[in-house]
Homo-oligomer: A and B are copies of this chain.
Amino acid sequence: MAAGIRPAGSGGAYEPTDRTVPTRSRERAAYDRESVHSMLDEAYVCHLGFVRDGAPVVLPTLFARVEDRLYVHGSTGSRPLRMAGEPDPGLAVCLTVTHVDGLVLARSAFHHSINYRSVVVHGTAHQVTDPDEKRSALDALVDHVIPGRSRDSRPANAKELAATAVLRLDLNEVSAKVRTGDPDDEPEDLTLPYWTGVVPLVTQHGTPIPAPDLDASIPVPGYLATR
């Protein structure tokens, strides 16, 4: 889809840049908001990359999307949060989310692969200082993990808010990459005697395990039962 074209019923597309056009397998790249947002929303954690003392650091962390903004949070004492802190110069980051959907077994070792969906976001993260935005972001972080949960738990108090830093990363320089479907064997390999196909991977919720100190009269909430 060409950048800037917004078909009816979708949110349009992110503009490709030098950093978001892959050097390889360009046919797997996608820039439309709908695909990017659904891949982001389905993931529980992202991998947040930043540079510290000239070297790369990649840490897994919870995140949430609100429209075209991503939020990550952490202790005010954690490294990336401190590095993006006041006075706020921002922190150059790369935030990546990956879903592994299947194992692709080709007849040749070379064409083994995985089916996956990934989103890579480049940009500068800034600390959220507005109290209302910070509260909304923290709600979004809880609801990202379990939709509806923020209304069914005790909101953060002043002390907890003060101990938590929230970073915002706007979705501007973004791309998705997707591989789906069957193995791509070479024509001359099609008669080789090896099984070939895809093994799907499925992640599911198990039965909720109540905390030992839970009052037994409190039932499993509907927002868990329906997932």
How near does chain B come to A194, taking the closest CB pair, in angstroms?
A: 5
Question: Residue A35 at the B interface, CB < 8 A?
Answer: no
User: Using Cβ atoms and an 8 Å threshold, which residues of chain B touch A164?
Assistant: 110
From 178 to 200 in chain A, residues with beta carbon under 8 angstroms from any chain B beta carbon are: 182-183, 185, 189-200
User: Using Cβ atoms and an 8 Å threshold, which residues of chain B touch A102?
Assistant: 206
Q: Once the chains bind, are B156 and A108 in contact (CB under 8 Å)?
A: yes
How near does chain B come to A199, taking the closest CB pair, in angstroms?
A: 5
From 10 to 46 in chain A, residues with beta carbon under 8 angstroms from any chain B beta carbon are: 19, 23-24, 44-45
Q: Classify chain A's interface size.
A: 35 or more
How near does chain B come to A114, taking the closest CB pair, in angstroms?
A: 6
Q: Once the chains bind, are A203 and B203 in contact (CB under 8 Å)?
A: yes
How near does chain B come to A177, taking the closest CB pair, in angstroms?
A: 9
Given A47-B98, A218-B193, do A204 and B202 touch, yes or no (CB 8 Å)? Answer: yes
Question: Residue A54 at the B interface, CB < 8 A?
Answer: yes
Number of copies of this protein chain within its complex? 2
Question: Residue A220 at the B interface, CB < 8 A?
Answer: yes
Q: A200-B207, A203-B204 given. 9 additional CB < 8 A pairs?
A: A19-B57, A51-B51, A108-B153, A109-B138, A109-B156, A190-B213, A198-B211, A201-B203, A203-B203
User: Using Cβ atoms and an 8 Å threshold, which residues of chain B touch A24?
Assistant: 74-75, 77-78
Residues in A lying within 8 Å of B, measured CB to CB = 19, 23-24, 44-45, 47-51, 54-60, 62, 74-75, 77-79, 92-96, 98, 100, 102-103, 105-110, 112, 114, 116, 118, 120, 122, 138-139, 141-142, 145-146, 149-150, 152-157, 160, 164, 182-183, 185, 189-215, 218-221, 224
Given A75-B24, A112-B149, A156-B110, do A202 and B206 touch, yes or no (CB 8 Å)? Answer: yes
